[in-house]
Each structure stands twice: as structure tokens, then as C-alpha cells.
Chain A
């Protein structure tokens, strides 16, 4: 039974009757991010994407934690829960595990997901509840006005680190693959078409999907991803990941290194057969992990796209199966029978 839901993340969510438009998903609340924030582009992309899913709007829930991005649910005309710092994956887990008829989306940021909520994130990923986690990574703390975040580069000068930050950042993709997430992808706020394509696959995946979205904070960390947007540089450093295609751009290519990992080399220095062909369904996470390490040192070459999409039964489904099995084996619960169970005696 679990098998049949593979790749059908929305199989249990009721379908919408009429055609939906972007407008249906806009709430009546005024959007209050800073002018120029990357969040606007992501919100517009998500609002314009949701009708494509064709599911009932009332069966869609956005859950968030705390941070700039976590205001997101207020702007979606769906059910929404703006919760507390770091806890959105836990709250969404309870909701999705008890309501398989819902499409549940978690909106989080690098501080929310990777710092205060790191524990919930890794456990959500290993547990594989049917959730879509959109991690807006701007590599800075915005809402608290500009402290370094767990994805900020070492040496980051901020208000809390006037001589530079000391701690090594997390790579969200490496972390997710390490936690054995079934679906891991990276996209960027400025590329709506790519964002849509990744969201489409994330929604279709039954289980926890993690999508890292590079998002520009123009107030506290402007141009953090500029090289990926600059027309002169982006094609050189971006490595588009597409299933079944060689991982390469016009100048660079990925191959298995003699040391066992992956390496990026000049495309014309190797034969086409040597270029690694991307397999998102590879059950062994080693290559996906190796791919996630290619942007070390940062932004020399950045894989964008789906790193891994591997099906395994989702937690909510397995949980429902146990409930059904219990009923099948012993019948539905009878309260009087339960209360009078065990060693009882009667007094007349």
C-alpha cells in the first residue's frame, strides 16, 4: 500500500473542483517585507504555482516558525499557522501525521531551520512525514537586524561579530542528505521557472521534501548570491542538475575524482563519457552528498536543482497503516471492553 503512493505526494489530498488562479491564493493582508526583499519573488512564485497542483485550497496549510520568511503564511489565502522559533517542522509533523488529506508546507529560514530548530529539521527529514519544507537561505539574521547565521561564511562581519564570525557554516543540502532526506533540492528566488519546476517535484514527492531557496536580503546581506544572478558569471558557476543529464555547463564538468569524491574540471579537459550523469533516484546518498560539497569553497561552482529524489514509505502513511492493522487484527476499540480489561472482580 505504501509503495503505491510513491511519487504521489498529493494522492490523498482532495482535488479542487474549478480552475484556480493566483488570485485565489492571495490573502487580504498587506505584505510587509522590506522593499526589494527576495521573499516577494518567492511569495509570487508560490502563489502562482499553487493553482497548478489542482488541490482544494482549504486542504492546503502553510506552517512557519519565526523570522522574516515566517510571515509567509499570513499572505497565503489557505490555512496557516505562524508558530514559534524553530518549531515549525514539529508542529507540521503533528498536523501532517494526523491529517494525510492535507498538503502541508513549512516555510523557514536559515536561522529558524538550522540554528534554533536544527533538531526538528533533521528528525523531520529522517522521519519522512509528508511535508514540503521551503528553507529561505539568506545567510543572515534579518528580523533581529543583521547578526550572522548558521549559513554565513566564516569571518562574517556583523553586529554580533565585529571581528568576524568564527564558526563554520552548515551547508543545508549536505545536512539534509546526511539526515537521509528523500527529496533535497536547491533553487533561487530570482528564477521563477526553476523555482516552479522544483516545487512541482517537491509536491509530488510523498515524504519530507527539503528545498533550499537562495534568497537575497537586500538590507543586511545584499548581493549574497549576486554571482548566480550576474549574466556574465552565472553560466560559468552554475551547474544545473537534471536527471539523466551530464552534470556540466559550457565550461565546467563534474567527474568522479581519483580520490573517490567528485571534482569539477574544465569541460574540454575530459571526454564526454567521463562527465558524471545525474541520477536523482540513486538510493545511495553518497554522490548526492558529494555534489552538495562542490560549492566548497563557496560559489566557485554551485549545483542548482534536485540533488536527490528517492522514495521510501512516509511516516504518516506507516502510522495510518498501523492503526488500520490494529483494527483489522482485533476490531475497532470498544471503551467498555478496554476499561473492564485486565484482572477485574465483581462485588454484588
Chain B
């Protein structure tokens, strides 16, 4: 049977099921297939903090959304075209996001009386007319899988568990995905259980063949590869990119990396990833608590390592005193904050941009710290290298503000060659720097950068003591002199203010927009996608995105003042807006939503258009 093939320019699929249904894995594999096919893509995993919430309930629903296209895209998509619902809870939890006319592929086997009752369905929605406005494909995924695996020597439970691979096979057929890598992946994942490996491959193939032969699906789709620039690509999540960026920073600085970290959602994957790369000389230390994590990193930095600590907001709160110690002892340190919804425990698996003011001001005393925020998952790589560059060059702790959306979302990444990466190496001080030629002054600064010398233990003749008590300029000896303290406070501030950061670039295709939409961090994708929509509709809007939150680019005041209106969407209650208003006296128009989710492009396009129309 030859089926019709329909051309599409983009598709948004959401896989949804119980936490134990393997939806994240299914999504990851479909993403890998899509990446290797050459589409541009963007992903959004969304899962509960509970590892296994009660089966079949709404809180237990885990989902994975993937947007892929034949052109470059910026977000995981606002609304799915296809929902794969593995049970009634998954259908119920996601239906409100699904536009009329979208496809629903539902696992009919799970729509049992009991499962329907669990989520409050009186009638099976697959059987009444309630889903008439959608294109419903009711498929008995579980029983088809079990039937396909009859010949294998595995338990019924193991056979049922392979249903996600059946679904993946079906979707792979539906969108013409290459399957070799998935088969190889399954074989490797279950290498120690050959029967499970074989049965999962069989389930995957059965799903694929089902699509080809069943009459339930009369059309398959083709989405041509996107014309990306030449190079080697891989799909990468923000946490992975950040970890690889730290490895690269270690190589490019020629400093051994020491990671002191305590497990916390959503940052733990960085610890996991770095722990795999010991052959780069990377020491990963799972500390007893957040404070010990940053303390050990700072101790290692004193000894000449690239000290890093990775955490989320609650961890940053605990680390504050040690970061202050790093500020005053002027040692390089990277503090990675993968922001999550707060305050307190908040919603650990949900995203937010609410730690900006804490990163800047959450310490006692005048305690300036550079802050950098990556814009996309792959940008986490460059942001990590940049954070290391600043930390090393200026001998300062640097805050790197990622977030849950970047951490777990993924996109294709054009892999850089090592030769393209900046050299961020540093010379330790090895000789006395006093005018007399014999004394060492640990707080005598570089005239240009104001950085102090980094002389590490083991260097003869430069024995010195540093600490949290105020230090005399130059000698570093304890000093309570009022004028010295005033000087040191100002010197530390001037050092951070003087950090070389690139100018803020403005994207304004026509050059005559009167409205600027500004953003920082992970809102880049939705804001840029929204700006495109507005421009397609004839609206004029300029876009700029801040990567350096402290210090700001030197031209930012000028940029802000050259537009009639500045719109600033943030996933907080206006933290950057507060700073910009205070520093530049610009009447920023804030747009704030704090729902634990990224903005939608459509939503922001509406907001931008409103601001344009109000001109």
C-alpha cells in the first residue's frame, strides 16, 4: 500500500504519559532522529518533581514537546500539532493546550474505567463525541506491543513497558525519521539484557510497520532538512552545553577544573556530566552541603584550580557568604545558578528568571559580582567559557544564570573546533612585585584590569595570607583604617565596572523601529520568534538581548534612550526593569508572567503589537 506523503514546513509534537511511561526517553530519541535528519529543532521537557507520582493521576503526567522545521526556529512551539497521550491523565492534562484540528494519538488500552475515574472522566472521551474537533487516532498501543512481543522470553510487564518504543516507532514512520540510531541506542542501553534489547527493538519496528500498514494513518509527512550553515552539529541541552563549556574553559585556561557541588534540581546534570570527564583532569566533589561545595571550589581556586560550583536558587542563597569571601579575597570562581521557580523550594522542575537581583545583591556589604546569562541551550557553552574568562582575568567570582528551561531544553548546536575557542590562559605570579624587588604585595593591582596577582601555594618567596577581614591596599594585611576601607570598596567596584563586555547589538531589519523589545537569558527564543511574527504582520520592532547583566554593555544607556518605547518581558516581576529604571531613568514597559513556563511567541507578539499600536 502506497500512502500519501504530505509536505509540512514545521511540526510540534508533544509526548505525554505517566512519569513511569518513559516519555522523556521517547522524546529524546525522537529528537535525536530529527536532529540527525537535519531539521532545526527546539525541545521543552516538562515533568513533575515527584519521581513516581501515583500512576495514572494528573500530577504524575510527564511530557516532552518537540518543535522541528525545515527552517530555523527559536522556540519549542506554543501549541502542539500532535499530542501523543499514553493515558487519560495525559490527555486531560494537555488537551487545553491543543488547538482544534490537531492530531491526538491516544493509547486506547489505558482508557479503562478505573483510569478514567482517576482523572474524573465519566465517559470515555475516545468513545463519545467530545474530541470531535480534533483528529483522533485511538490506537491500542499496549496490546499491539504485547502481541508483537509474544515470541520473546520476557515478562508481560516488560512487554507492556516497551509500549513507548512502539509509539516512537509509529511517530518515526509518520514523520519519516531515520531509525538506525535509535535501534543502536536501544541495543547499547540494554546491552546487559539482550532479551530486553531485542524486544524493545522489535516493539519499535512493530510501531513503525504498524504505521505503514494500518489504515488508521492514511498520510505520512515530510519536513525537509533546514538549511543550516555548514558544519558538524549535535543536539544539545543547556546543562550538557554548560558542562562542556566548563571542560573547554579548563582546557583553554590550562587550569585543572575543580567542581564542588551538591545535588539540586535542575542543576545536577552538570555535576553528572562533568563527573564523566576525569581524563581531562577534572575533579568533581559531591560535597556535604551547598556551602561546602562552594567552599571547596574556592579552596581549590586558592590552590590554582578553575573553581566551579553549580546549583539552583536555594543553593545560591546558602553560598552567599562564601561568594562574598571570593569577592573580597579576589579569587576566580564560577557560580552556576540554574534558576527554578521560587521562593524557597518553589517548583523545582519549573523555570523562572527570579534570581537576578539575588545574584547581583544577595550578599552583605558592597559585594559586586559579574553576572552572565546564556540565551539558548547551546549558548550555555559560550556563556561558560565567557564566565571563566572574566573570572580568571579579573580574579572574581562570576554568576552564570541559566534556568530550568535552558537546562533541559535542547537544540542543534554547531560544534566549534577547539582552534576557534578563545585562549583564556593565565600566568600565575611567581616573583615579588614590590618596588624593593623582594616583597610580595598580594593586593597590588594590574593597572589596566585592577586584578590582583594570583600567586598560588608552592611558589617560593610569595607566601602570603588572605582572608575575609578588610585588607590594606597593596600589602593585604588586616586593616581597619577608614580611608583604606573606602578605597578598597571602590577599587573592588571599579574592577567589576571596568570588565570588558561587548556592546549590546540591536536587531532592527528596517532600521526605523520606534519600539525596542529587550530581554535577557532564556527569553531570547520566544522574544525573537515574537518579533518575527510582528514584522511579518508589518509591525516595526527592534530587538536586543542582554547577555551581560553586570556590568552592562557600555552602550546600553544610549540604546535604551534611542527608542520611544522599551518593552521588557521577564519571567519575574520586573527585576531587570528595576535596575534599568534606576540606572538609566528609562520608563521601561514591563511584561511579566511567573508561571514556571517559558513565554509563548504568540503571547509576546501580541504584547509587542499592543505597544506599537499605542505609539
**Hey, which bits of chain A sit against chain B, CB under 8 A?**
14, 27, 29, 56-61, 63, 66, 73-74, 76-84, 87, 90-99, 101-102, 119-120, 123, 319, 322-323, 325-327, 329-333, 335-336, 338-348
- Interface bits B317-357 vs A (CB < 8 Å: 1, else 0): 00001101100010000000000000000000000000000
B467 partner residues in chain A, CB cutoff 8 A: 73-74, 80-83
**Distance in angstroms between the alpha carbons of A102 and B287 in the assembled complex:** 21
For A29, the closest partner residue in chain B by CB is: B477
Q: Which residues of B contact A (CB under 8 A)?
A: 32, 35-36, 38, 181, 225, 228-235, 244, 247-248, 251, 256, 258, 260, 277-283, 285, 287-289, 291-292, 295-305, 307, 321-322, 324-325, 329, 415-418, 457-469, 477-478
| Contact (Cβ within 8 A) B463 A57 | yes
- Report whether A94 and B260 are in contact in the complex, using a CB–CB cutoff of 8 Å: yes
- Evaluate whether A90 and B292 lie within 8 angstroms (CB atoms) in the complex, with A74-B478, A335-B251, A345-B232 already known: yes
User: What's the least CB distance linking A328 to chain B, in Å?
Assistant: 9
Q: Closest approach, in angstroms, between the C-beta of B269 and any C-beta of chain A?
A: 14
Asked, given contacts A78-B463, A90-B287, A343-B32, whether A99 binds B325 with beta carbons under 8 Å apart, the answer is no
Complex: how many Å from CA A266 to CA B19? 68
Q: How far is the CA of A194 from the CA of B149 in the complex (A)?
A: 75
Known: A90-B296, A98-B300. 18 other contacts (CB 8 A): A56-B458, A57-B463, A58-B463, A61-B457, A74-B478, A79-B463, A80-B466, A90-B287, A91-B299, A94-B295, A94-B296, A119-B288, A323-B283, A326-B278, A336-B418, A339-B244, A340-B415, A345-B38
Residues of B within 8 A of A81 (CB): 299, 302, 329, 465-467
Q: Which residues of B contact A59 (CB under 8 A)?
A: 457-458
Chain B interface mostly helix, strand, loop or mixed?
Answer: mixed
Provide 24 A-B residue pairs closer than 8 Å at the C-beta atoms, listed in order of the A residue: A56-B458, A57-B460, A77-B463, A79-B464, A80-B465, A80-B467, A81-B329, A83-B468, A84-B324, A91-B298, A92-B299, A95-B300, A97-B258, A97-B285, A99-B304, A102-B457, A119-B289, A119-B292, A120-B295, A323-B279, A333-B251, A335-B248, A340-B232, A342-B234
A84 touches B233 (CB 8 A): no
The answer to whether A336 and B417 have CB atoms under 8 Å apart is yes
- Contacts of A97 on B, CB cut-off 8 Å? 258, 283, 285, 296, 300
Docked Cα-Cα span, A119 to B288, in Å, equals: 7
Chain B min CB distance to A116 (Å): 10
CB B235 to nearest CB in A, in angstroms, measures 7
Question: 3 tightest A-B contacts by CB?
Answer: A82-B467, A94-B296, A94-B299
Tell whether A87 pairs with B291 under 8 Å between CB atoms, given A58-B463, A345-B35. yes
If A27-B465, A58-B461, A343-B32 touch, does A335 touch B283 (CB 8 Å cutoff)? no
The one of B244, B299, B321 in contact with A338, judged by C-beta atoms closer than 8 angstroms, is B244
Q: Who on chain B is nearest to A78 by CB?
A: B463
Residue on A with the closest CB to B31? A343
Determine whether the beta carbon of B247 is less than 8 Å from that of A333.
yes
Residues on the A chain within 8 Å of B417, using CB = 336
Determine the chain A residues whose CB is within 8 A of the CB of B466 once the complex forms: 80-82
CA gap between A244 and B374 in the complex, in Å: 63
Distance of A322 Cα from B466 Cα, bound (Å): 32
- A333 near B279: Cβ-Cβ < 8 Å: yes
Q: Are B279 and A331 in contact (CB under 8 A)?
A: yes
Q: How far is the CA of A83 from the CA of B247 in the complex (A)?
A: 28
Residues of A within 8 A of B289 (CB): 119
A171 to B38 alpha-carbon distance, docked (Å) = 65
